Amino acid sequence: MQVTFYGAARTVTGSMHLVDTGGERLLLDCGMFQGRRAESQEINAHFPFPPASIGAVVLSHAHLDHCGNLPTLVRQGFAGPVHCTPATRDLVALILRDSAKVQQQDVAFVNKRRAEGAPPTTPLYTADDVEAALDRLVAQPYGRPFALGEATITFFDAGHILGSAVTTIDAGGRRLGFTGDLGRSGTSILRGPETPPAVDVLLMESTYGDRLHPPYAEGERRLGELVGQTVAAGGKTLVPAFAVGRAQDIAYALHRLRDGGGIPAVRTFMDSPMAVDATEIFRAHPECLNDEIRARLEEADPFGFTDLRYVRSVDDSKALNAIDEPFLVIATSGMCESGRILHHHIGDPRSALLIVGFQAANTLGRRLADGVSPVNIFGEPHDVRLRVNTLPSFSAHADRDELLAWVQAMPRVGRIFCVHGEERQSLALAGALAARGFAAEVPTRGQQVTV
Ligand code: ZN
């Protein structure tokens, strides 16, 4: 078996690795590269191989940086199946349809401002391309091996987002493992990551290869404390969280805090139609949920509680700005990119922004987390007066020690290639693995290895 690293090598986005099993060419993930516009467009639109030469795609999970470029692959001639878990299949539909919509809005905005005579920008793919890609999805449950030509593929729960999988590929008497993104044990909704069997080569994520997160329970306690302080001050609490995963985590944490008297009564809004749909998908996939939440699903709705309202329409969302009393809003633009609600409250020292997820470089969320002020929102500078707090406990990614413990629990690992991390993080994890006796390295884009 041969592996070529085509994405997420010394970076965190655009996950994509080509595996040649001898009889079959498959892609592990087909993620969207996210960064500066021109560079992203160039990378996403041009595959380093003919898409028609790929026999099948295997998706680790539904995050855009792992599945987001699938419609481009199909549009450019890929005609095989796309294998993923049942929950991933449902979430991919939601995420890719949203991606086409966002691109359409984005292109309309850019074209309106384009210089006279300049060629119009076109989206990477359209809603029709997304539907064609969705037709290719084939659901495969955890723990049930399936055949792809001579190769056998098995999914194990990665505990990162609903449906996320660690993948093993058996071919020619060798076994390749791919972590996708790895979650943490002891979080509120999902099961912890499973330990796969022995592998000869492991492609391992390293998002937090050099960081430690406080325990989950500590984050929940801190969330309660900060919400309490902000309500007491008469301010608004803004929690940017991706519609899929983090939004449900926060809703459930608030539910538990409210039940246990850890936060005062405060009107709470989930500001995203996509989060409403994602929540339905969570309810439909109890196989991915931990015992506690499965038990609660039988009696009540763990993602809804008396103070929580889901906001579907833009008008309802705009109406939030007129509310003159403390409230909490879970706004599902994970890295604050859209800034719609934020710009109303950024100058209010009574209000608070709680950062609960990974903030990529060059995003508004990262600048705010780094304490930058003023920041630009919709092209205008704003002084940052609201309080900004980061709660790393809610991370959906394992930290350094959790990554190391996960590998050390495996029966045997031949060589490890650290992918999906900013270079410093990947190198740090490879160093930590090497210090524990593993053969670990950080590949570069285009590098090829034999399993
Ligand atoms: Zn992910």
Distance 183 CA to ligand 1 centre (A): 9
CA distance 384 to 238: 14
pLDDT at 305 over 80: no
Clarify whether residues 274 and 410 are in a common domain. Answer: no
What's the CATH code of the domain at 95?
3.60.15.10
Task: Supply the pTM of this predicted model.
Answer: 0.88
Distance 160 CA to ligand 1 centre (A): 7
Distance 233 CA to ligand 1 centre (A): 35
CA distance 189 to 167: 22
Distance 277 CA to ligand 1 centre (A): 19
Clarify whether residues 245 and 360 are in a common domain. Answer: yes
Clarify whether residues 379 and 410 are in a common domain. Answer: no
Distance 65 CA to ligand 1 centre (A): 7
Tell me which range, 36-40, 147-151, 217-221, 365-369, is most confidently predicted by mean pLDDT.
147-151
Distance 231 CA to ligand 1 centre (A): 32
Distance 306 CA to ligand 1 centre (A): 30
Distance 289 CA to ligand 1 centre (A): 17
What's the CATH code of the domain at 253?
3.40.50.10890
Distance 67 CA to ligand 1 centre (A): 10
| Model confidence pLDDT, tens digit, residues 144-200 | 999 999 999 999 999 999 999 999 999 999 999 999 999 998 887 899 999 999 999
213: which DSSP letter?
P
pLDDT classification of 111: cutoffs 50, 70, 90: confident
Distance 208 CA to ligand 1 centre (A): 12
How many Cβ atoms from other residues are within 10 Å of residue 45's Cβ?
14
Clarify whether residues 11 and 47 are in a common domain. Answer: yes
**Which residues are within 8 A (CB) of 384 and not within 5 positions of it... i.e. 6 or more apart?**
346, 368, 372, 373, 374, 375
Distance 161 CA to ligand 1 centre (A): 7
Distance 178 CA to ligand 1 centre (A): 13
Distance 117 CA to ligand 1 centre (A): 40
**Which residues are within 8 A (CB) of 91 and not within 5 positions of it... i.e. 6 or more apart?**
61, 62, 161, 162, 163, 244, 278, 281
Residue where a domain stops, chosen among 361, 376, 394: 394
- Looking up tokens 């505990």, which residue turns up? 159
Distance 361 CA to ligand 1 centre (A): 16
Clarify whether residues 34 and 45 are in a common domain. Answer: yes
Distance 30 CA to ligand 1 centre (A): 13
Residue where a domain stops, chosen among 394, 410, 438: 394
Clarify whether residues 203 and 228 are in a common domain. Answer: no
Clarify whether residues 195 and 178 are in a common domain. Answer: yes
**Which residues are within 8 A (CB) of 15 and not within 5 positions of it... i.e. 6 or more apart?**
7, 8, 28, 29, 31, 60, 65, 66, 180, 419, 420
Clarify whether residues 349 and 293 are in a common domain. Answer: yes
| Model confidence pLDDT, tens digit, residues 265-299 | 999 998 877 887 888 898 899 899 999 888 888 77
Q: What percent of the chain shows pLDDT beyond 90?
A: 64
Clarify whether residues 304 and 444 are in a common domain. Answer: no
Q: Are 249 and 290 in contact (CB under 8 A)?
A: no
pLDDT at 361 over 60: yes
Mean of the pLDDT values across residues 391-400? Answer: 90
Distance 269 CA to ligand 1 centre (A): 25
Distance 250 CA to ligand 1 centre (A): 17
Distance 326 CA to ligand 1 centre (A): 33
Angle (CA) 147 151 156, round 5°? 70
Distance 365 CA to ligand 1 centre (A): 18
CA distance 331 to 271: 5
User: Tokens standing for 224?
Assistant: 């309660």
Clarify whether residues 383 and 403 are in a common domain. Answer: no
Clarify whether residues 435 and 389 are in a common domain. Answer: no
Clarify whether residues 327 and 403 are in a common domain. Answer: no
- Looking up tokens 């040649």, which residue turns up? 20
Mean of the pLDDT values across residues 42-53? Answer: 95
pLDDT at 114 over 90: no
Distance 185 CA to ligand 1 centre (A): 16
Q: Are 339 and 333 in contact (CB under 8 A)?
A: yes
Distance 212 CA to ligand 1 centre (A): 18
Mean of all residue pLDDT scores within the chain: 91
Distance 63 CA to ligand 1 centre (A): 5
pLDDT at 10: 83
Distance 45 CA to ligand 1 centre (A): 22
CA distance 357 to 371: 16
CA distance 391 to 303: 20
- Looking up tokens 């050390």, which residue turns up? 408
Residue where a domain stops, chosen among 394, 419, 442: 394
Q: Return the SS3 of 382.
A: strand
CA distance 3 to 61: 19
- Chain centroid to CA 141: 20
Q: How many domains does the chain have?
A: 2
Give the domain range for residue 291.
Answer: 216-394
| Model confidence pLDDT, tens digit, residues 325-357 | 999 999 866 555 555 677 788 899 999 999 988
pLDDT at 419 over 90: yes
Q: State the virtual CA torsion across 374, 375, 378, 380 in degrees, nearest 10.
A: 20
Distance 324 CA to ligand 1 centre (A): 37
Distance 120 CA to ligand 1 centre (A): 32
